[in-house]
Chain A
Amino acid sequence: MPLRSGFILLTVLTLAPVYALWAQESLPSAVEPSVEPVQPERIVEGRPPLYSFKRNLHPLTWVELAFKPAFHSAESGWIHKMLERKPDTDKESGIRFGAGGVGVGSGFGPSVTFFNKNLLGRGIDVEVPLTYTYKQYQLFEFNGSIPLPYRKLDKFSFDLGAAYMSRAQDDFFGIGNNTPEDETKFRTVTRQASAGFTAKWNERWTSGFGVTYRSVGVTEPTSGVSTQDQFNAASVPGLFGATLGSAGFFVTRDTEKRENYAFKGGLDDFRISFNRSVDGGDFEYWRYHFYSQHFFWLTDDGRKVLAARGLVETNITPGNDLIPFFDMPFVGSDDTLRGFDNFRFRDKSALALSLEYRYRIWPRLDWGVFIDQGQVALQLGDMGLDNFHTGYGVRLFVWPKPDLPISIDLGRSSESWRLYINFNTRF
């Protein structure tokens, strides 16, 4: 070993001066001037030996080479053009390209949306968004909105929708608030049709009523241990799927403003629906869902904000009826309980609370510290202060555009660390 080290040292010692000479001579040759001053002297005799060699050898120079094309593109190439591209809001119909996800744990993927804002010249708004994520989650939708004349409302419409959704590998840990960390996975394929009315009363208030038909098939996941192999249908209702019909009503109050600063105002959303099997199955339940998030400015300039949110959902089944497991509320996601695996705890009722202190650390950058608490139970009355699961962590908001907050959350819990990235987050 000493012999080898000595050899390396000797090689370096031999090559260094040789390279230095070479580096010296590798300068481009100057064309001799026609008129020279009397004493054309230089303050140094040449470039410092090994200067470029040392810089080129540096590992960070290689990092630089790797990032250079992407950075240049963001500065003046196609990435820049993409970012700078102004959506043609006046365009009535066409295709929009973008990127997005299809809910918790789906990852991101390309999204193509065919749209027509004035179908048949009657103001009918039709959208067909198609999204496919890198985790093989798929969502292909058709949404149509037919405006109805009613002058007292900002907008009143009859809405029609259809969707095909494949969730390739959602997590399942069992039902209950104390399930072990043994993760299984399942895939759902949903075919859905819906119809309803939406009324936008003013800038803040919106309400609606609708009916939905859903056929949900549960199959083997694209990877991981299958839920269907580990559990049986007796302990997990709906393990092999269900076909459901629903009727529901919602009302939303939205005063949220996100431009540039770490949010203002709030959002309250209440939904109630009745769901039951339409193929003679055992499923029948009333769902009550309330979600609320509010932002409280601690300073007049909005640099320091206290953000709070709460989710409460309960499903009530008359008699011995059941609720399919895939339709149960859960905690464990970026918008319920951070720091835990996605869908970590499921049951008929769920409660999730978040408190976040966020503050501006630089123009276009906000930092936040948060604490999330959540629990699930058979019914709301079974919940207790001792049953909460706690996640906490830090959050960074980046604002590449005044209306585009990107959040990066690092959550920690007694079970794991989790990183969440959200584009255009609402909380």
Chain B
Amino acid sequence: MKNQLMQVRRKVALIIAVTMLVGVISFAQTRHSEVLWLDFDMKNIPEPKERQSGAYDYFFKGQLLEGAKRSLDVPRWLRLATGHPKQASNVNALDEVPDSSWYTNRHHIRHMDAAALQRGPNTGNPPDFTGAVITRAKTSGVTPGMMVNDATGQAYLIKFDNFNYPNLQSGAEVISTKILYAAGYNVPENYVAYIDPKHLKIGNKVEIRDPKTGKQRPLTQDDLDQMLWRVARLPDGRCRVLASKMLKGKPKGPFAQIGFRNDDPNDLIPHEDRRELRALRVIASWINDWDLKEVQSLDMYVEENGRKFLRHYLLDFGSSLGADAEPTDYYHGREYGFDVHSVTKEIFSFGLYESANEKRARIISPEIGNFTNDDFDPGDWKPTYPSIMFDSLTDVDAFWAARVILSFTKEDLQNIIQTAEYSDPMTNEYMLRTLWERRQIVTHHWLSKTDALSDFSVRPSGQGVALTFRDLMVQHALALIDFTEYTYQVKGKDYKSPKMTINSREITIDRETLGAATENGSADTPVEVSIWTHRRNFTSEPVKVYFNWSSDLQQLTIRRIDRS
């Protein structure tokens, strides 16, 4: 009996050891230690195959199987239990995301002026659809859609607004496109455009699925008239539409929300470990872009500067802000499409628990739909389907996203909203107010979980060295300065200074401390300053700032910022 018990114990110990070993090896991905602003994943690659994705990938695999795998991931639980969740892999030494085929630092790092924000991804003027030719059509659904070629032969995907909700979906898509573009993501060129149905021509071999028989047949003028009968019209009979310009390159299907693309040698980082993708959850919560399943993304095989590679796009933002084909349902952003927690609560409360899908949305106006701050909880915000990519979000990733969001000022948002060309000036005002309030709610939520310190700089001062920073919560009126303190500690090789607490956002390190910190290190060993932020009953994890002198001792440089 005792021997059997020993054997069982040995087996359990062996399993744990192997699991931990595999876990540790699996995640020991070497990260670049220098400040790298371009992660060059744009090498020439052979043409990848088109990747298919559907409900199987985002529901069965994405939600059920991957969710179950994650629940059984022992190394992950160990990391979480010890307070060390796996941090994003594509972060440079300054805790920022470098440019890549996935992401380009824009407004957050390289300030965009009003014109650039209003232009967004667009490279030209809105298309002229006089004499446009329909090349494909979708008649089913609440609102129809079609592909048309304009007079120059450029292809556009056309989305109409619902008859009862003019400007709702097109307005939301334009605003979200421009916000996501300015935030750094690759998005298509989406224009507000106008189509006169009288000037639309049906191209050759355009077929639709007959709603009665379910069989394919040619699109007729009657079909077109019936289609357009359901869409919003202007008084002069024209339709205001969202025209999405076809992306350059060859479409290669959506990118997976977990793992990488095996036939793309540039794709080295598991997508769930990419900070810009994890943090998309935070930015999406701000604009309530709840439809973020895999098929709302697209890899394009593009040719740039003589190289062919995949560029990764986000698509289709018509289900954002308060919009969908109709005003968005209340539960969007609050519950998953199939929410196990809500279902469980419903079952065990005998139906007394009122889940979000039971509640009715508050419709502000036909143009705005259901875009409000009602019960908005950024930490609990959910896209339609759970995703390992979003679940991998750490507080540090969210802090990065909050920095991106905070780069949008009221004027920036106002400029972007204007491009939606709403008919009612009150809509502009409401959108601005709501986006601004949600910006405050989102950033307050996530900044409260971290040090919230940014824009570190270091310079020589009379007494030694001055390390300054900005406290984003204080700066953006999200926390009271009177209740905020900072504790810091200077570290060097074999040296730790006493911890000091200050109220200001400038740390002065005197010569004596600097001397002690650098005494036992080599000339280029950086000095480490750990800073804790205190607000009322909260103390953050430390942010570690590393700086050193240039070789001629003339210049002080921040080498690394570490929140891991």
Contacts and interface: CB of A to CB of B under 8 A. Distances in A.
A279 to B, nearest CB: 53
Contacts of A44: 29-32, 89-90, 268-269
A37 B268 contact: no
Contacts of A41: 32, 36, 38-40
B43 A362 contact: no
Interface stretch (B149-157, B341-349, B417-425, B426-434): B341-349
Nearest to B259: A55
A104 to B, nearest CB: 28
A43 B265 contact: no
Given A31-B44, A42-B268, A85-B214, A20 B25 contact: yes
A48 B273 CA distance: 11
A108 to B, nearest CB: 24
Interface in A46-97: 46-55, 58, 60-61, 63-64, 67-68, 71-72, 75-76, 84-86
B427 to A, nearest CB: 30
Nearest to A54: B26
B260 A47 contact: yes
B7 interface: yes
A309 interface: no
Given A9-B17, A359-B351, A34 B44 contact: yes
Contacts of B350: 357, 359, 369
B22 A50 contact: yes
A73 to B, nearest CB: 10
A43 B21 contact: no
A1 B4 CA distance: 11
A48 B274 CA distance: 13
B56 A72 contact: yes
A32 B30 contact: no
Contacts of B206: none
B38 A16 contact: no
Given A54-B22, A86-B214, A369-B350, 10 more contacts: A1-B7, A9-B18, A12-B21, A41-B39, A42-B39, A45-B29, A60-B69, A68-B56, A362-B339, A363-B357
Q: Which 4 A-B pairs have the closest CB atoms?
A: A359-B351, A361-B346, A48-B29, A43-B39
A46 B342 CA distance: 40
B222 interface: no
A37 B44 CA distance: 12
A43 B343 contact: no
Contacts of B43: 30-33, 40
A49 B11 CA distance: 25
Interface in B354-405: 355, 357-358
Interface stretch (B60-68, B120-128, B241-249, B515-523): B60-68
Interface in A7-42: 8-9, 12-13, 16-17, 20, 27-35, 37, 39-42
A418 interface: no
8 contacts: A31-B43, A40-B40, A41-B39, A43-B36, A43-B90, A71-B55, A72-B54, A365-B343
Contacts of B343: 361-362, 365
Interface in A173-194: none
Given A1-B10, A35-B305, A67-B60, A30 B54 contact: no
Contacts of B36: 41, 43
Q: Is the interface of A mostly helix, strand, loop or mixed?
A: mixed
Nearest to B267: A47
A69 B485 CA distance: 58
B460 interface: no
Interface of B: 7, 10-11, 14, 17-18, 21-23, 25-32, 36, 38-41, 43-46, 54-56, 60-61, 65, 68-69, 72, 89-92, 98, 100, 212-214, 259-260, 262-263, 265-266, 268-270, 305-307, 338-339, 342-343, 346-347, 350-351, 355, 357-358
Given A44-B268, A51-B270, A63 B65 contact: yes
Contact of A360 (B44, B54, B91, B351): B351
Contact of A32 (B44, B259, B346): B44
Contacts of A384: none
B554 to A, nearest CB: 24
B358 A303 contact: yes
Interface of A: 1-2, 5, 8-9, 12-13, 16-17, 20, 27-35, 37, 39-55, 58, 60-61, 63-64, 67-68, 71-72, 75-76, 84-86, 303-304, 357, 359-363, 365, 367, 369
Contacts of B306: 33-35
Contact of A33 (B44, B55, B346): B44
A124 B263 CA distance: 63
Contacts of B355: 362
A75 B351 contact: no
B25 A28 contact: no
Contacts of A63: 65
A361 B355 CA distance: 8
Contact of A75 (B11, B40, B56, B358): B56
Contacts of A67: 60
A18 to B, nearest CB: 11
Given A28-B263, A42-B32, A67-B60, A76 B25 contact: no
Contacts of B10: 1-2, 5
A71 B65 CA distance: 13
Contact of A39 (B17, B38, B259): B38
A392 B36 CA distance: 65
B46 A304 contact: no
A144 B72 CA distance: 59
B236 to A, nearest CB: 39
B307 A33 contact: yes
Given A12-B18, A44-B32, A30 B346 contact: no
Contacts of A43: 31-32, 36, 39, 89-92, 98, 100, 269
Contact of A31 (B23, B45, B100, B357): B45
B90 to A, nearest CB: 5
A82 to B, nearest CB: 12
A362 B14 contact: no
A64 B65 contact: yes
A63 B89 CA distance: 29
A81 to B, nearest CB: 9
A303 to B, nearest CB: 7
Nearest to A31: B44
B103 to A, nearest CB: 11
B19 to A, nearest CB: 10
B14 A9 contact: yes
Contacts of A362: 338-339, 342-343, 346, 355, 357
Given A8-B14, A362-B343, A31 B46 contact: yes
A361 B335 CA distance: 13
Contact of B213 (A46, A51, A71, A86): A86
A67 B339 CA distance: 21
Contacts of B212: 86
A30 B72 CA distance: 35
B171 to A, nearest CB: 27
Contacts of A17: 25
A16 B347 contact: no
Contacts of A303: 351, 358
B22 A16 contact: yes
Contact of A50 (B25, B39, B100): B25
B32 A30 contact: no
Contacts of B60: 64, 67, 71
